[in-house]
Amino acid sequence: MSAGGFSAAAPEAALAALCVPFDTGVLRLPTDGQALFLRARAGVQLRELAQPGWLCEQSFLPFADELARCSLRVGEPAEGEIFPLVLLLPPRQRDEARALFARALDHLAPGGTLVASMAKAEGAKSGEADLTKLVGAVGNLSKHHCRVFWSTPEPHAVDRLLQDEWRALDAPRETADGWWSRPGLFAWDRVDRASALLAAHFPGDLHGRVADLGAGYGYLATQLIARCPRITALDLYEAEARALEPARRNVTNALRMAGRELPVNVHGHDVTRGLPRRYDAIVSNPPFHLGRADLPELGRAFITSAADALVESGRLLIVANRHLPYEALLAARFADVRQLALQDGFKVIEARSLRA
């Protein structure tokens, strides 16, 4: 991620491995310069390989912005649009990856080639097995602790029933606990313990316009609706586009269950770029890692954006892993910082009274 005073490294190993079949001549780039790159990430290797006709799809807004800053074309393929080459960086979550394989085939031209790259520690073996199950035999190679696998599938070899089944895996679904979500979102099939702890400490006197930063599928927002009757408007901010529809469904259900009419808006937005308006209160379970790497700068960027967007008497309530060093920044921005809870390795902090 970039923009908010910090940066997240692209998966350079996976990108480098993805380029190897082309660098060694095992595969060739299309002569017409057209390709689709699903879950694309910016990086030196991509800038060297990509051609002007490539379309890069990325649902996470900060990563999409990185691609655009590299002068790459970013967007979604039109329904029925096909390409002679489809590249992808499948995610670790298996249902999400299977849905991505199915979509990749939707946009693969007859005689075209699909190429995927995954780190071995991130499920490469399972990913290759799944693609083989879907399209038949695949080629492969290992490099940079990653596995690259590809196929130029014959139409008769593709399991179309399985493709339909896997394509549906990415649709918003209701979890066992009754939340709308989809595979691959943070804590997609459960209520995150940290978020539950924060919600349990929402003050009943929260009032006015409130924002939830990094809203995910909307759990915290539903708890604000249920627990805080003096809220007059609610905005959810989330950078992952795939989370927006589940969040809308969950807050709609929460309003119905509470018997409330409340202006609620769900925004696809990178919080680290700042917020467009002022708030009486802000709540957040800020992300602090990308992949498996801790990135406390991300949480600090959320705190900075929140402090910048609060009215003078506003309140910030956050939850974080107990080891994360947020207190110094909070003390620099707020005169009153209190720890409301310390439980199961998490801390809930309330900050009030903005410093001039």
The three state secondary structure string of the chain is CCCCCCCCCCCHHHHHHHHHHHHCCCCCCCCCCCEEEECCCCCHHHHHHCCCCEEEECCEHHHHHHHHHCCCCECCCCCCCCEEEEEECCCCCHHHHHHHHHHHHHCEEEEEEEEEEEEHHHCHHHHHHHHHHHHCCCEEEEECCEEEEEECCCHHHCCHHHHHHHHHHHCCEECCCCCEECCCCCCCCCCCHHHHHHHHCCCCCCCEEEEEECCCCCHHHHHHHHHCCCEEEEEEEECEHHHHHHHHHHHHHHHHHHCCCCCEEEEECCHHHCCCCCEEEEEECCCCEECCEECHHHHHHHHHHHHHHEEEEEEEEEEEECCCCCHHHHHHHEEEEEEEEEECCEEEEEEEEECC
Which has more pLDDT, 5 or 141?
141
pLDDT digit string, tens, across residues 37-88: 999 999 888 888 999 899 999 999 999 999 999 999 999 999 999 999 999 9
Same fold, 12-169 and 173-354: yes
Q: Which fold has domain 12-169?
A: Rossmann fold (3.40.50)
Residue spans of the domains in the chain: they are 12-169, 173-354
Taking only the tens place, the pLDDT of each residue in 226-254 is 999 999 999 999 999 999 999 999 999 99
Supply the pLDDT for residue 2: 37
- pLDDT for 47: 86
Q: What is the pLDDT of residues 108-117, one digit of tens each?
A: 999 999 999 9
End-to-end CA distance of the chain: 29
Where does the pLDDT of residue 289 fall: very low under 50, low under 70, confident under 90, or very high at 90 and above? low
Say whether pLDDT at 273 is over 80.
Answer: yes
Q: Per-residue confidence at 10, pLDDT binned at 50, 70, 90?
A: low
For 143-194, how does the pLDDT look when each residue is reduced to its tens digit (9 = 90+)?
999 999 999 999 899 999 999 999 999 999 999 999 999 999 999 999 999 9
Q: Residue 178: CB partners within 8 Å, gap ≥ 6? A: none
- What's the confidence (pLDDT) of residue 5? 37
- For the full predicted model, state whether its pTM sits above 0.85: yes
pLDDT band at 3 (very low <50, low <70, confident <90, very high): very low
Query: Distance (Å, rounded) from C-alpha 182 to C-alpha 267?
Result: 18
The fold adopted by the segment(s) 173-354 is Rossmann fold (3.40.50)
C-alpha distances in angstroms, 101 versus 38, 143, 188?
10, 21, 20
In whole angstroms, give the CA distance from residue 32 to residue 48.
17
Rg (CA), the chain: 22
